A and B are shown apart, each in its own frame.
Chain A
Amino acid sequence: MAPPAQAHRSPSPSQPSGKGEVSDLKSQLRQLAGSRAPGIDDSKRELFKKVISYMTIGIDVSAVFGEMVMCSATSDIVLKKMCYLYVGNYAKVNPDLALLTINFLQRDCKDEDPMIRGLALRSLCSLRVANLVEYLVGPLGLGLKDNNSYVRTVAVIGVLKLYHISAPTCIDADFPPTLKHLMLNDPDPQVVANCLSALQEIWSLEASTSEEASREREALISKPVIYYLLNRIKEFSEWAQCLVLELVAKYVPLDSNEIFDIMNLLEDRLQHANGAVVLSTIKVFLHLTLSMTDVHQQVYERIKAPLLTLVSSGSPEQSYAVLSHLHILVMRAPFIFASDYKHFYCQYNEPSYVKKLKLEMLTAVANESNTYEIVTELCEYAANVDIPIARESIRAVGKIALQQYDVNAIVDRLLQFLEMEKDYVTAEALVLVKDLLRKYPQWSHDCIAVVGSISSQNVQEPKAKAALIWMLGEYSQDMQDAPYILESLTENWEEEPSAEVRLHLLTAVMKCFFKRPPETQKVLGAALAAGLADFHQDVHDRALFYHRLLQYNVSVAERVVNPPKQAVSVFADTQSSEIKDRIFDEFNSLSVVYQKPSYMFTDKDYRGPFEFSDELGNLSIAAESADNVVPAQGVEANDKDLLLSTSEKEEIRGATFNVSGYSAPLYDSSAASVQSELAIISSTSAGSAPSSSLAIDDLLGLGLSAAPAPEPASVPPSLKLNSKAILDPGTFQQKWRQLPISLSQEFSLSPEGVAALTTPQALLWHMQGHSIHCIASGGHSPNFKFFFFAQKAEESSNFLVECIINTSSAKAQVKIKADDQSTSQAFSDVFQSALSKFSV
C-alpha cells in the first residue's frame, strides 16, 4: 500500500494544511502510549481515526510512525486494524521504521485469536519492503498450516505478495508446491480459490524462465485438476466460481462426451444471480463447443434468455458490461438473434453508450423479415435530441441499406432525411446516399433529384460536402446545375478549410468536364489553377497530375478520371476475422468492451496509437466508406489497416501515391496504375501487360502492395491463371449453387504448413501468390474453412474451391467446381502444388 497521495496534496482548498495538526497528534499519541488508564482505548481510537483520515486526504502523517507503533500494544482489534493500515501505508517509504513494526506483527502472528493472526499476517505481507522478506517466510509457513481457514486464506495470498516482493525467496521457500497441495486438499473453498489465483499468477510469471513452472501452469488445466474443481464448484463463492470457470474455459476435453458432461454439470450456473458467473459459464459453453457447429448453435439459443435477462436487470454499468458481450455474440451470429430485435430498441433515458451498442446490434440483426420494423424504429431515433445518437441511427439505416437486397423503402427514408432540414441529418444522409449509389447505381435517378435540390451552402461538414461534390461530379450529366454549383464552389476555393473537400472538388470538376465540356471548361481552368497554387501538398500534386495528364492526352485522361465503374458489392469490413476471433477468445474480459484484443491495450508497444483515442466504435465508423472492389481483400484487412484511415476515395488513392513527393519508383507505380487501368479498359488479358505485375486493385487498394507477385514458375504450364481475377461474392455463391462438384480430393499438409496456419491469413497471402484468391474464410483451430476462386488467364472461366483444413490431422479436404470441367484436374494439380508449398 503505497502512500495514497503523499507527494501531492489533494487540491481541495478546504482541507487543513497539516503541519501543525501532525505535531499536535504526535504529542497526544506520545502521552497515550505509556498510559494504561481505563478507557484509554477510546481516546486512542479517536486519535488513530484522525491520523487515518489525514492519511486518506493526502496529508503526510509518516512523522508519527514511531508513536503509532508504540501505541499498537493493545488488545483492541479496531485499534490494531487502524494501526496495521497505517503501517502498511508508510512502511514502503520508511523501511527503517518498518523494522520497528516487525516485532509486534510477528508477535501478533502467534496470537491465540485467529482474527489477529490473520490480520497480522496480512499486514506483515503488505509491508512490501524487500530487505524484510526474511521475516516473512516463517510466519507464512506457519500460516499455511494454521488450523483456522481464515488464517490460511490470508497466508495463501501472502505467498503471492511475497512472490511479488521477492520471487526467489518465495520459490526457494518451496511455497508454490505447498499451495498446490492446499489447492487440491483444503476443505475450505476460499483457501482453494486463493491458491488457484496465486498459482496462476506465479506460474505464469515463472513460465518464461522455468520449464518446470510452465509444466505446472499446464497442469492447472489438466483433467484431474479441472474435474476436482468442477466437482466442488457449488461450494465456492460467486467470485471463486468465476475464477474456476475461467480456468475451465481453457480446458480442452478429449471427446464430446466430456464436453456434454461438463455442460450438464454447469448448466444450472446460467440461472445464477451473479451476472459474472453467468458470463463465465457462457464462455465455457462457447469455447467447449467451438468445433461442434450444431451444438454451438444450440448453445447460442440456450444462452439467449439469460443474457437478455441480465441486460434488463442491474445497474446501467452492469447491463453495459453484459450488453457488450451480447453485442459480440450478435455480431458473430446475427441470424440467431433476428427475432429478438425488439430487445435492442433504445429507451429514451438510456445512456448513450448503451444506445450505441443497441444500434449496432439492430443493424446486425436486420434481415428480410424485420427490416421494415427496424428501419422504422431507427428513423424515430434520427429525431433524437442526442445528436451523436441521431447520427448513429442514420448511419445504421444506411448500413442496413448496404447489406440488404431490397433497398427500395430504405432509399425513400434516406431521402426523407435529406428533407428534414437539420444540418447533421442532412450531412449524414448525404454520405450515406453516396455510398448507396456506389453499390446500387440503379437508384441514381431518384437520389439525384433530391440531392440536386440541396443547397451546397447548407452543407458544412467536410465529409458531407465531399460526398455532395462527388455526386456532382459523378452524375453531372443528370444534374442540370452541376457545372454551375461546382463553379461557385471553386470560386470559394480559398475559404474551403478542408483539403479533402478541395481534392474532391478537383476530381469532380474533371469528371464534369469530360461529360459537359463546354460548360465546365472555364471552371476546370480555375480549379486547376487554384489547385496548383494550393499550399496543401496532396491538392497541389493532384492538380499537377491532372494538368499533365490533360496535356499528354485528353482521352487517356478521361479514361483515368472517369472510367466505367463497377458497383461495389461488399464494403470492407473494418476488423479482420482474426482480430474478431481473438476478441472472442478473450470473452468475458475488457477486450470485449474495448472491442480489441488484449495485447492492443495491455502491451506497451501497442498502446501508443490507441491511448486516449479509444472512443468505442469509432473504428467501425471510420472505414465505412472504404472502397473494396475486390472482396478477397476484405478478408485481409489487417491490424494496420485498422489504424489507417481508409476513408479516402478511390480517386484519392491514385493521387496518394504522389503524396510523398516525386520519388521515382512511386511515380512509376502510379504510371503503372494508369497502364493497367488502360489494360483493363481495353479488355486485353492481364497477362499482356507484364509491367503491371501487381493487380490494379493492389495499387489502388489497402496497402496490399506488399502482396507477393505471382510466381509464374510455380504454375505448371498446362494451366495459366489470371493473377487479377475478380469475382464478387454474389456471383460466387450463385455459381457455387449451380455448378456440380467436379473434383473432391483430400490432400496432406506439410507440418510446416500446419504450423503456419496458426495465422490463417498467411495461407490467403500464399495462395494469392499462386493466383488463387480467397473469397471467404473462417473457423477456429483445428478446423479452418476457406473458399477460393481462380480464373483462367486466357478466358473468363472460373474455378471455385472449398477447402476444409484440419490442422490436427494435417489434412485438407478440397472440393473443386469449375465452369470448364475438363480443366478441373489440371487446376487441382495447381492447387495442390500451391498448397504443398505453404509453410511458415
Chain B
Amino acid sequence: MPVAASAIYFLNLRGDVLINRLYRDDVGGNMVDAFRTHIMQTKELGTCPVRQIGGCSFFYMRISNVYIVIVVSSNANVACAFKFVVEAVALFKSYFGGAFDEDAIRNNFVLIYELLDEIMDFGYPQNLSPEILKLYITQEGVRSPFSSKPTDRPVPNATLQVTGAVGWRREGLVYKKNEVFLDIVESVNLLMSSKGSVLRCDVTGKILMKCFLSGMPDLKLGLNDKIGLEKESQLKSRPTKSGKTIELDDVTFHQCVNLTRFNSEKTVSFVPPDGEFELMKYRITEGVNLPFRVLPTIKELGRTRMEVNVKIKSVFGAKMFALGVVIKIPVPKQTAKTSFQVTSGRAKYNASIDCLVWKIRKFPGQTEPTMSAEVELISTMAEKKSWTRPPIQMEFQVPMFTASGLRVRFLKVWEKSGYNTVEWVRYITKAGSYEIRLAS
C-alpha cells in the first residue's frame, strides 16, 4: 500500500486542531494528543519528521505557522506521504491565492474539508490536480458544472482521456494575447574550505513556466545542454556548433513532458498546463561559475579584540549586477562593540544571530568591495570559552546570469490555429547554501 493514511491533522503552533480528517477507523481519536505530548511538547520536534508513537507513525511538516500531520498505522510509503502533503499545500495555495497559514485555514476551513474529501478517499490519494479540481470545487459553491448539460456529462478526466491523456489541461482555453514566460532559476550551493578550496559545489536549477496560450498547443524547448545538442547534430548530420554546452547531471520533468520522446530524441516536448508550473528541474556539478569569491581574514588580537576583514569579488560580467547581497560573518557570542569600514553597502552587528551583517543592495560585476571591522569582546571568566567558528554565509540574486551557463536556445509553439506567441525568458541565479569556512 503506498499510503493508506488513517488521518490528517492541521495544527497551529500551540497544538490546537485547525482541521482534522479521519479517513480510517484504525487509529484512535486521541492521536492529536499523542502528537502533542510526544512530539510537540518535547525536544523531539526538530529531530526527525517521521516518528513512531505506539503503533502509529506520524509524518509531519511545518509550513509557515501550521503543522500538517499524517497518521498511518501500516508500513507506509514515506516519500509518497510527504509528496502528498506538499502537493496538497500547493493545491490549497492555488485556491487561497498565495498564502498558506493559520489564518488562511481558519478562513477557508469549509473549502479545505471539501478538498480533503476529494484528494483522498479512505486514505488513498485521488486527484490532486488544481486544474481539474477547480472545475467542480469552487469557492462560490455554485452547482456543479455538469448539471448544466443534461445528459452524458462526462467528468473532465474522462473527456481529456479521449483527447490523449492530457489530464492537466482544459480544452477550449482562449487568450487574446498568447504569451509564454520562462524563468530559469538556479540556486548555487557552495562549501568552501578555510584554505579557499572548493569542497563541494553544485547548481540545482528549475525552469518555471507561465503559459497563457489558447487551445491545445504543443511546445518544444531547446537548451544548450550537451546531450540534446549532440542528438540534434546527429539527426541533422551537422557538427555541433561551437560554444558552451552544459552537461546536466540529472533532469526531472513535470508530468506533462513526454518522457518517451525525451529518451529517444532528447527533446523536451509537452502540452503545457494552463498558468504557472514547474517544467523541469536539473542538477549540475561540473563547470559551475561561482558568481562571488569571498576572501575573509579574521585575526584574534588577544582575548578581547578581533579584526575582521572580508573582501568579496564579483566574477560575473561587468554589465550585470547582483541584487540583495547579504554577507553574514559570524562573531563570538560575547561581542560587545563593533566598528566598521566598508567600501560599499552597509554593515552592522546583529546580536540575535551573532553575526556581522553586511548588505549591498546593488553589486556590479567585476568589482571587489571590502569590509573591515573591529570587534571588541567582553572578557569572560572561562579561560578558553570556545568559539566554534561557523561558516560565513551569503545571500544574493544575480539576474540574467546562470551559474551553470544554461541558456534557452529556442521555444517553439505549435497550435492548429497557428497563432503567434510572444515568449519571454528570464534568468536568475540565487544563493542556495553558500558557505565559506573560517580558518581557525
Question: Which residues of A come within 8 Å of B, CB atoms?
Answer: 1-8, 10-12, 45, 48-49, 52-53, 56-58, 75-79, 81-82, 85, 112-116, 119, 122, 128, 147-150, 153-154, 157, 160-161, 164, 187-188, 190, 193-194, 197, 200-201, 234-235, 237-239, 242-243, 246, 267-269, 271-276, 278-280, 305-306, 308-310, 312-318, 320-322, 324-325, 342-343, 345, 347-349, 351-353, 377, 380, 383-385, 421-422, 586, 588-594, 598, 601-602, 604, 607, 610-612, 614-616
Contacts and interface: CB of A to CB of B under 8 A. Distances in A.
Contact of B161 (A10, A187, A377): A187
Given A309-B283, A353-B49, 14 more contacts: A77-B142, A78-B114, A82-B113, A122-B117, A197-B1, A200-B1, A237-B167, A239-B126, A273-B252, A273-B255, A320-B48, A349-B433, A383-B386, A589-B78
A560 B273 CA distance: 78
Contacts of B17: 4-5, 10, 56-58
Interface of A is mostly: helix
B289 interface: no
A49 B110 contact: yes
A114 B122 contact: no
A309 B204 CA distance: 8
A324 B49 CA distance: 12
Contacts, number: 307
Contacts of B54: 607, 611
Interface of B is mostly: mixed
B349 interface: no
A310 B16 CA distance: 33
B390 A348 contact: yes
Interface stretch (B24-32, B91-99, B302-310, B367-375): B24-32
Contacts of A604: 55
B435 A187 contact: no
Contacts of B388: 383-385
Given A239-B2, A352-B46, A342 B250 contact: no
10 contacts: A2-B22, A56-B17, A272-B259, A273-B252, A317-B49, A318-B79, A321-B82, A347-B433, A385-B390, A590-B76
Nearest to A607: B55
A242 B109 contact: no
B213 to A, nearest CB: 21
A312 B142 CA distance: 42
Nearest to A151: B155
B19 A56 contact: yes
A114 B155 contact: yes
A149 B157 CA distance: 8
A77 B83 contact: no
Nearest to A341: B200
A677 B90 CA distance: 68
Which of B22, B144, B155, B283 has the most chain A CB atoms closer than 10 A to its own CB? Answer: B155
A4 B21 CA distance: 8
Given A164-B25, A272-B259, A593-B50, A188 B253 contact: no
A-B CB proximity, top 10 nearest? A78-B141, A268-B259, A239-B125, A305-B250, A276-B80, A598-B75, A115-B144, A317-B49, A309-B250, A276-B79
B114 A274 contact: no
A318 B83 contact: yes
A809 to B, nearest CB: 33
Contact of B109 (A52, A113, A586, A607): A52
A427 to B, nearest CB: 15
B338 to A, nearest CB: 21
A154 B262 CA distance: 35
Contacts of B76: 589-590
Contacts of A193: 124
A147 B152 CA distance: 8
B409 interface: no
A157 B22 contact: no
Contact of A589 (B75, B199, B390): B75
Contacts of B346: none
Given A5-B32, A590-B57, A377 B199 contact: yes
Given A7-B29, A81-B117, A421-B384, A590 B122 contact: no
Interface in B28-87: 29-30, 32-33, 38, 46-55, 57, 59-61, 72-80, 82-86
Interface string B245-268: 000011111110001101100000
A374 to B, nearest CB: 11
Contacts of B426: none
Interface of B: 1-4, 14-25, 29-30, 32-33, 38, 46-55, 57, 59-61, 72-80, 82-86, 109-110, 113-114, 117, 121-122, 124-129, 136, 141-144, 146-147, 150, 152-155, 157-158, 161, 165, 167, 189, 191, 199-200, 202, 204, 249-255, 259-260, 262-263, 278, 280-283, 384, 386, 388-391, 393, 433, 435, 437, 440
Contacts of B155: 114, 148-150
A345 B199 contact: yes
Nearest to A351: B46
Contacts of A279: 77, 79
Nearest to B62: A317
B49 A602 contact: no
Given A57-B16, A187-B158, A312-B204, A593 B78 contact: yes
B78 A153 contact: no
A345 B435 CA distance: 12
Contact of B80 (A239, A312, A592): A239
B1 A271 contact: no
A704 to B, nearest CB: 31
A242 B2 contact: yes
Contact of B86 (A5, A8, A318, A590): A318
Which of B53, B113, B128 has the most chain A CB atoms closer than 10 A to its own CB? Answer: B113
A379 to B, nearest CB: 11
Contact of B55 (A1, A11, A421, A602): A602
Nearest to B283: A309
A276 B74 contact: no
A115 B1 contact: no
Contact of A157 (B113, B121, B433): B121
A187 B161 CA distance: 8
B267 to A, nearest CB: 13
Given A81-B113, A312-B283, A56 B79 contact: no
Contact of B141 (A76, A150, A588): A76
A4 B250 contact: no
Nearest to B15: A11
B250 A114 contact: no
A6 B280 CA distance: 46
A343 B29 CA distance: 42
Contact of A586 (B60, B75, B278, B283): B75
Which of B260, B281, B435 has the most chain A CB atoms closer than 10 A to its own CB? Answer: B281
A10 B19 CA distance: 12
Contacts of A119: 117
Contacts of A114: 144, 146, 153, 155
B259 A383 contact: no
A616 B283 contact: no
B83 A75 contact: no
A348 B391 contact: yes
B158 A149 contact: yes
B79 A588 contact: yes
Contacts of B202: 312
A266 B80 CA distance: 18
Contact of A81 (B33, B114, B254): B114
Given A239-B125, A273-B278, A315-B86, A4 B433 contact: no
A590 B75 contact: yes
B122 A268 contact: no
Nearest to A322: B79
B161 to A, nearest CB: 6
A5 B20 CA distance: 10
Which of B82, B124, B127, B388 has the most chain A CB atoms closer than 10 A to its own CB? Answer: B124
Contacts of A122: 117, 121
B20 A56 contact: yes
